[in-house]
Structure formats: structure tokens, C-alpha cells
Structure 1
Amino acid sequence: MVPQPIHPRSAHRQNPRQKPLPGPGAGTRDTNVNTNIALIGGKLCAVVESGNLPIELDYELESVRRTDFDGTLEAGFTGHAKYDPATGEQHALAYEPSQPVRYISVGRDGRATTKARIDLPHTPMIHDTAFTEAFIVVPDFPVTFQPQRGHTNFPYLWDESRPSRIGLLPRDGDVSRLQWFEAPRCYAFHFVNAFDDGDLTIIDLPKHPSMFRTDQNGPNEGAPILVRWTLDRNTGRLSETLIDDRGNDFPRINGRMSGRSYRYAYTAHWGDMVRFGPAMKHDLQRGTTEVHDYGRGLMTSEPVFVHKPGAKEEDEGWIISSVYDPASHRSSIVILEAQDFSGAPIATIPLPVRVPFTFHGGWVPDRDVASLV
């Protein structure tokens, strides 16, 4: 249910009946791009991790061309670049076999700068990252590239010999000052947010007990819990605090708070046996959680926050998500008032199809994609 990286040696190539896409990477970085859509340098791009190039989209979300950001992208990209509202940058950690982990910054002009190459003794699966005003969060969890051990065509597996650790890389990319912290043995697909507080760095994330250890076909090894990791940069130690243990993933926040101290997080329920259901709003200041139940049997995906024009409060906005109805095998777009989270939806837009849970969601106003119209 969570997007999985596609390795070039095992991916399905473009449908041969379709016209090949123009752009760089033909024959090497041109396989499936199926995780997310991001606005990068004023262009909508479909993106994925583990080696393939982004694909530019038009206003109707049709594929236009593969892109390496005007030749500035050294190798592959990621499915989870994080936008910094203070600088206009997209921060990305890119990984793929036989390559160092790259910290990439993409500017407002859509050009990429590789700020750091992080050489590791293995290739960890890095689905997401987070950033603070001073650091890039570098996850190194025990899911690594092991094609020789796989029983499926998915080459990333749990590695019992590897510990879990989390790194703080200065945003200037100085790898000599990369600080590692021992972390609980786990896996995390996503990060909620991160921020600095004096000598401490705070990281919030949904923590899975393990991943691709007993089930190589999917993320089915126990419900993830929402936790806060506090990294003391003076002592080099990490401590963990539980935020919510009811099963949480696909986190989103008010994007204006990215990399900074914040109060509210929104997650989709992820229970045992990969069961989805309601959405949750977490008040990290009060330590409370509010639940929105979409109805019997209905399952929400990622709850995207959209702030209202002129909003002054952090939670002054709407929650938009795709909600699946197994009875009809169709999805609807459901819109909630974020400040009346458990109340009735303000709009429900039925769709003629099912939207897979493997897809991330996002909101881009027309004014930001005017050049694509």
C-alpha cells in the first residue's frame, strides 16, 4: 500500500503501444514513475525513488517529457522532495544501487545542486526525509538492497545485521560534520516534520516495527505508531516519546510550518494487516488526538492540508483526501474543515474510479501552474 521503489532491472517499461517520451535517460532511467506529484521550479513532475527520472506533466496531468532539471540532476531523484517555504528550495535525498546517497537541493528556478554525496557500506531504502533550519535528516534503517536474497522482484529487504540510525547533515552539505544517532530498531516510510530547539533536534515520524522482513510483498508487519525522537546534539543520544499508538501513517502538516516548530499533524489510520479507515488530527501541544470517521467501511488515504487565504491560525484550512468505498470499488474526494475535524464534510466529490492507496496526494493552486494551462 505504500509506494515501493522500482529498480531498473525489475521494473515494467513504458507500454510499447504508447509513444516514447522525449527527454534524457532513455533506456536507463525511463521506467515507471508512480509515487508522487510535486511542483518543482514551476513545473508539475511525477516522481519516484531509486533511480528513475521525473516526468513533466501538463495541466491535464498528461506526461510530456522526462527531465533531469536542465542537465543539473546527476543521477536519479526521489518520490519525496520536501519544500522549504522560507527559501523556496526542494530538499531531496536520492538513493539507488551502486550510487552514494545524494543530498540534492532544487531551487526556485528548477535547477538541482548536489550538495553532498554520502558513501555508505550498503544501499538503504530511503523513502522520505525531513529538514530543519540547520539540518537535513538522513535515515539509515535496516532495509537495504539485497537482490541475492529476494524471493520476489523487489530487491530491498530487512537486514538483521544492520542497526537503525538517523543522521543530521548540515544544510551546506558538509559530510565531515554529519552526526549519527543510534535509533530504535525500526523502519519509517515517512516523516511528519522536524525542527531545532537549541541543542536539540526534534523529529516526528510514524514508526514501523520492521519492514520486508517476514513479508517481501508488502508492508504487512504490524501497525506503525506515531512517535517523537529528540536528538541531543551535545550528548549524541536519542530519546523517544509516544504520540499516538492507534496506527498512523501518511502524515501531513500545514506546509508553512515545514522545518519549524509546529502544533498540528494529520495522519491516516493504518492498523494491523494494513487496515485503513479514519483520519486523525494530532494536537502536539495538548497531547490530544481528534478522529474523523468517514463512515462504515470507508478508508481515507493521505489527509492533505490546504491553508485558507489570509489564515492566521496554523489549523485554519481544509483537509482534502481520497476516500475509498470497498462496496462500490470507487473513491471520492472528501473535504473537511480542519478546525472542525470530526464534523461533517463540507464537500464530497464522487469519482468514477478507485484511487489506489499507493498514490500520494497534493494541492497546487491554479496560480502556481498558470504556465501549464
Structure 2
Amino acid sequence: MTGNGNPYLTGLFAPVRDEITAHSLPVIGRIPASLNGRFLRNGPNPLSVEDPAAHHWFMGAGMVHGVRLRDGAAEWYRNRWVRSDAVAAELGEKQLLGPRHQDMDAAANTHILRFGGRYLATVESGPLPYELDEELNTLGPYDFQGTLPGGFAAHTIVDPASGELHAVAYCPAYPYVEYLVAGTDGRIKRRVDIPVEGSPMMHDFSLTENYVLLYDLPVGFSMDAAEAGASFPFGWNPAKQARLGLLPREGRAEDVRWLDIDPCFVFHPMNAYEEDGGPDGRRIVIHLVAYDRLFDTGRHGPDDSRPRLERWTVDLRAGSVRQEVVDDRPMEFPRVDPRLMTGKFRYGYGVLEPGDGYGDSRAKQHIAAGTSGPTIDRVGIGLVKYDLERGSSEVHRVHPDGDVSEGVFVPGRPDLDEDDGYVLAYAFDPERAASDLLILSAQDLSGEPVARVQLPVRVPIGFHGNWMADEE
């Protein structure tokens, strides 16, 4: 496969061609004894592309990469395509049995989570998730034991207080988005259909103790683009008013309170929580990554503007939202300690991207590869840890010619403090021409890795993943 001028098919984004199983992986340093489980990450890895010049990064077939850690050893590395109908056909395999939503075929390439003892690869805009087994083999589409009323979502939140799974799903064919809650029994227990206009792309959402936060922003499905054959038929609509929706957790669609905000787009919130606003009432504080504009001129990926960390403060009494920049360095893939989702937190993590003096030489890679490269380079140059209480940050830099993916915080033990644990991420080592699993101390992020697990192959730049601890 050649990139044909498409930067998302070349260099560090180029798909790998083979499924690999490797055992007894080499380790530099010492893997913490508390890390017993699997570190899994999903991302696009197309088998073939009909028109490389028109290919969009978001549309590649999903491939999950995983490392199994146990008793201080790295037992295996595996990478497996998620067997959607299209992938199974291209590999010459039988289509897997199971339910489908509106006959949609899922390039389940966005996230991988475990809920109710099941490993689920997800994607947005309506298809069902695909269930995998512990060795990353695809079992088939999953509809929450027959209780999912429609399609599903790319992103979910597990409420630490209840253990329930929350999601906001959309489908371009529907004039509403669905707020869904799955109980700890793995069955959907709550559904709220919320009317929206313009088929907005709601990639993610936020959850607080009492509210579901909906990002109704100026990126939506375009029928004109779909009819013209666009591989990714979504675009920026400058005429649409950006809104933040506040749905009470136990409320109905008519209870949503919509607040106008400045035009922007949000893929990924970091976290949101409620706090006392003094005599003026309670506030909601949201930390998220925002773009000024997206999918307006970019043809291959999110290349229109640089993402930055912002803090939004919602005054519930006044019905207003204050949008402030926390860090103007380009960053994405924000994460927090999962034990603190929906509540107040101090530390957040993200991936720094080139720009503003950070790794601008990355553009030379595209020139050397004979491609023009994207307007905005989505290569990760380092992991950043934010101390939001002190207003400071520290960075773990990777090799200037390498990359690093989303960093996932893992507590050292369930009872330890917020930042007492590890940050796990895949990083490409150009000197080996292969990737490593980095295990960093969250309390010394800029220091040398606690351990570096050497993988036999490159893990392409991708999207999201999770640490799946062994269930006791």
C-alpha cells in the first residue's frame, strides 16, 4: 500500500500488514509487580485502500494491539484486526454471526474497553461494538444481551460510584442522540432520546454527579458529501450555533438545558465535576481539548486547527459558560485517574503534538517521505502531566524521530493517592524500528521509564485504549 500523497498512510501512520504473536518480550527495567493485566489500544489499520488520495484517517479497519503483563513479566504481544464484515471478507473468512444495527458494518477502530467481563471494540455513528476474547480474537457484534435499542458510541464512562456504563450514541439517520446507561449486569437499563438538528458528530460527552453534558457543535453529517462519495462525510457548518447541553442524570429529553457557547469542536473531554459556586449557586467545571474549527478544509484528518486544553466553567444559576485556555500547546487524548471520573481531580494527562517550538522538525519527515504532510501534524512528541491545582506541568519527551500514543493512568493499588501509580503508552523507537510499551512513574513523568517492554513490530499512530487489570 502506498500513501499516494496521503500522510495518514505513510511514515508513522502507515498500517502494518501482518498479525503478530510474540511471547516472552524483552524488558528494560523492571515491570511493577502490581501490573497484572492487559494494556490494549485500538486504531485504524486499513488492509487496503481503494483511493489513497481520498482516504480519511478515521475510516481504516480497526486493529487492537495488546501486551499481557503478569508477575513482573511481559508474557505476550498481539495485534489483531477486528473482524468486521468487510475485514472478514477481505481476509477470506466467514462473516461472524450476531446482530447488526441497520445493517451497518463497523470499522470498530476507535476504543477498546472491558465491561461486564467483555472486551468491546467501539466506533461512533451507529454500528454495534465488536466483542473480543482475552487473546484479541473477534467473537462478533455485541448488543448488550439484546437490550441495546440502536447503535452505540465510541466513548463511554464507567461511573466509579455505581460501576454502571454511560454513553451518548448518535446515528446520522436519527434526528436525536441517545443517552444510554448499562447496569452492572451488562444490560441497558436507561435510554433517553434527545432531539438535535443537523446530525451533529458527538464523539464524546462528559458526566458529573448529577448531569450528562452534551457537546452539540458545528461538525455534522453532510448528505452532499456522502452522495459525492466522501469517505468521511462530515464537515464544519459555520451557520450552526455551538451549544452545551445539560441533561439531569434522571431527567427526560425536555429537561435538557442548552447553553450557547463560542464556535469550536471537542473530540475529548478530560473530566468534569460539580463544585460549590458560593452565594451564586453550584458550578460545573470541565477540562477538555478544543479546536477553533475542524473538518472545514482538512481532507485526510483533523487538520484545520490545533487542539488546546481549555477549562469551561458553567454557572448553573446564570446559565452561562466561561471558556478559558489552560495550555495553548497543541495536545490531545486527555486522560485522568479513572477512579476520579465525574468528580474533582488534580492531575490530568495528554499527548503533546508538534507546534509552538515543540517538535516542529517533524514536518521534515513528510518531506523526506516525498509527501506534503498534513497542515497539522498529529504525531505525539511527548506525554504531559498537568497539575491543575498548581497550574504547572511536566513532560516526558520521546525520541525526536519517534512518536508516543495516548497515556493511560493506572493506580499502583486501588487505595493509593491520585497520582501514585503509572502511565502506560506505546512509543515508537526509530533506533529499533519498532515500538515499546513505556511504563512511567506518574510521580516522575519526565524521568526515565520504570520499564520499557520491547515489541517486535511498530504500532502505528492510533486512537484509544485502556488498562484491563486481571479480575480477582
Same fold (TM over 0.5): yes
- 1:306 CA drift (Å): 0.1
Out of 198, 212, 215, the residue aligned to residue 295 of structure 2 is 212
Residue matched to 2:418 = 314
- 1:359 CA drift (Å): 2.9
Specify the code of the residue in structure 1 equivalent to 2:413.
P
Is 1:261 aligned to residue 261 of structure 2?
no
Q: Distance in 2 between matches of 1:258 and 1:117?
A: 24
1:190 and 1:250 in contact (8 A); partners too: yes
Q: Distance in 2 between matches of 1:357 and 1:321?
A: 11
2:59 and 2:231 in contact (8 A); partners too: no
- TM-score, normalised to structure 1, is 0.93
Specify the code of the residue in structure 2 equivalent to 1:78.
A
- 1:276 CA drift (Å): 2.0
Residue matched to 1:371 = none
Query: For 1:89-238, what aligned pairs fall within 5 Å after superposition?
Result: 89-99=164-174, 100-149=176-225, 152-198=230-276, 199-238=282-321
Out of 347, 359, 363, the residue aligned to residue 467 of structure 2 is 363
Instruction: Give 5+ residue unaligned stretches, structure 2.
Output: 1-7, 9-42, 45-56, 61-83, 277-281, 356-375
SS of alignment partner, residue 462 of structure 2: coil
Q: Distance in 1 between matches of 2:436 and 2:274?
A: 38
Residue matched to 2:153 = 78
1:157 and 1:216 in contact (8 A); partners too: no
- 1:91 CA drift (Å): 0.9
Q: Distance in 2 between matches of 1:5 and 1:72?
A: 28
Is 1:13 aligned to residue 91 of structure 2?
no
2:219 and 2:236 in contact (8 A); partners too: yes
CA deviation map 1:123-154 (0-9, x unaligned): 11111111000001100110000030366221
- 1:222 CA drift (Å): 2.3
Q: Distance in 1 between matches of 2:383 and 2:353?
A: 9
Q: Distance in 2 between matches of 1:26 and 1:86?
A: 31
SS of alignment partner, residue 193 of structure 1: strand
Specify the code of the residue in structure 1 equivalent to 2:444.
D
- 1:290 CA drift (Å): 0.7
SS of alignment partner, residue 471 of structure 2: helix
Residue matched to 1:248 = 331
- 1:326 CA drift (Å): 4.8
Residue correspondences, number: 365
- TM-score, normalised to structure 2, is 0.74
- 1:172 CA drift (Å): 1.1
Q: Structure 1 residues 325, 137: CA separation in 2 closer, same or farther (over 3 Å shift)?
A: same
Specify the code of the residue in structure 1 equivalent to 2:427.
V
1:30 and 1:52 in contact (8 A); partners too: yes
Q: Structure 1 residues 213, 12: CA separation in 2 closer, same or farther (over 3 Å shift)?
A: farther
Q: Distance in 2 between matches of 1:251 and 1:77?
A: 22
Identity, % of aligned positions: 37
Is 1:68 aligned to residue 151 of structure 2?
no
Q: Structure 1 residues 53, 298: CA separation in 2 closer, same or farther (over 3 Å shift)?
A: same
Greater mean deviation of Cα atoms: 187-196 or 165-174: 165-174
1:124 and 1:141 in contact (8 A); partners too: yes
1:281 and 1:341 in contact (8 A); partners too: yes
- 1:270 CA drift (Å): 2.3
Specify the code of the residue in structure 1 equivalent to 2:208.
T
Structure with the greater alpha carbon radius of gyration:
2
- 1:271 CA drift (Å): 3.2
Is 1:341 aligned to residue 445 of structure 2?
yes
Specify the code of the residue in structure 1 equivalent to 2:152.
F
Out of 271, 283, 288, the residue aligned to residue 392 of structure 2 is 288
Q: Distance in 2 between matches of 1:68 and 1:93?
A: 15
